[in-house]
């Protein structure tokens, strides 16, 4: 009988930014895990976009980090976006799915393209969403903000094809 491998625990920190909302935007993500020898491994991700919104960048930070994982993980995901955290912790997503991607006011859910992509990226993992106060000295959140704003202001920004602006 084969011994089951322990599931890796990963801490993920994310942030999104947009200049003008809509305007140039970017996301930042920091992923961290400790291997079985006690070594800490970190990876940073960021990307900028020509024209987008803050909420889309908050979502893309989470998506990019989850899509970077190569196997199912236990994840604690820290975000200063109540939009992202509450969608799961207050079960907004469940209601959107039941109503065919309509919100409680029977309007189409904004950013449905990214919410669908996020649900797919999240599927193999067990994810706990934790809200952190932004711009309050949380070191990893501050780092993600730096990554996001540098990407928003930087060269090599992509077109956010899903943005209907």
Q: Which of 25, 48, 125, 145 is catalytic?
A: 145
Residue 119: inside a domain = yes
Residue 160: inside a domain = no
35-51 pLDDT, tens digit each:
989 999 999 999 999 99
The residues near 9 (Cβ < 8 Å, ≥ 6 apart) are: 33, 34, 73, 74, 75, 76
Q: What is the 3-state secondary structure (H, E, C) of the chain?
A: CCCCCCCEEEEEEEEEEECCCCEEEEEEEEEEEECCCCCEEEEEEEEEEEEECHHHHHHHHHHHHHHHCCCCEEEEEEECCHHHHHHHHCCHHHHHHHCCCECCCCCECCCHHHHHHHHHHHCCCEEEEEECCCCCCCHHHHHHHHHHHHHHHCCCCECCCCCCC
Residue 107: inside a domain = yes
- Our answer to whether residue 42 is catalytic in this structure is no
- Our answer to whether residue 80 is catalytic in this structure is yes
CB 117 within 8 A of CB 101: no
Give the pLDDT of residue 120: 98
| Residue range of the domain that includes 94 | 8-153
Give the pLDDT of residue 3: 47
Q: Which of 61, 80, 125, 140 is catalytic?
A: 80
* Residue 140 marked ligand-binding: no
Residue 102: inside a domain = yes
Percent of the chain at pLDDT > 90 equals: 88
| Count of the separate structural domains present in the chain | 1
* Residue 50 marked ligand-binding: no
CB 44 within 8 A of CB 24: no
- Work out the mean pLDDT of the chain and round it to a whole number: 94
- Our answer to whether residue 145 is catalytic in this structure is yes
CATH number where 107 lies? 3.30.420.10
99-148 pLDDT, tens digit each:
999 999 999 999 999 999 999 999 999 999 999 998 888 899 999 999 99
* Residue 15 marked ligand-binding: yes
Q: Which of 15, 26, 48, 160 is catalytic?
A: 15
Residue 143: inside a domain = yes
Give the pLDDT of residue 135: 83
- Our answer to whether residue 74 is catalytic in this structure is no
* Cis omega (within 30 of 0) for bond into 22: yes
- Our answer to whether residue 58 is catalytic in this structure is yes
Residue 1: inside a domain = no
- Our answer to whether residue 16 is catalytic in this structure is yes
115 to 52, 136, 165: CA distances (angstroms): 15, 27, 17
Q: Which of 26, 58, 61, 125 is catalytic?
A: 58
The residues near 54 (Cβ < 8 Å, ≥ 6 apart) are: 16, 17, 18, 21, 25
Which pair of tokens denotes residue 27?
């996301």
pLDDT band at 21 (very low <50, low <70, confident <90, very high): confident
């Amino acid at each position: 009988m084969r011994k089951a491998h322990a599931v890796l625990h990963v801490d993920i920190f994310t942030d999104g930014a947009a200049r003008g909302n809509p305007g140039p935007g970017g996301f930042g993500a920091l992923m961290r895990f400790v291997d079985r020898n006690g070594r800490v491994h970190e990876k940073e991700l960021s990307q900028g976009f020509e024209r987008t919104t803050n909420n889309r960048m908050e979502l893309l930070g989470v998506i990019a980090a989850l899509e970077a994982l190569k196997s199912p993980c236990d994840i604690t995901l820290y975000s200063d976006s109540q939009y992202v955290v509450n969608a799961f912790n207050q079960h907004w997503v469940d209601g959107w799915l039941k109503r065919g991607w309509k919100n409680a006011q029977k309007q189409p859910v904004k950013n449905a393209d990214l919410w669908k992509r996020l649900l797919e990226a999240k599927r193999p993992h067990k994810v706990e969403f934790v809200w952190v106060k932004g711009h309050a000295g949380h070191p990893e959140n501050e780092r993600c903000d730096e990554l996001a704003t540098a990407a928003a202001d930087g060269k090599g920004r992509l077109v956010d094809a899903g943005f209907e602006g």
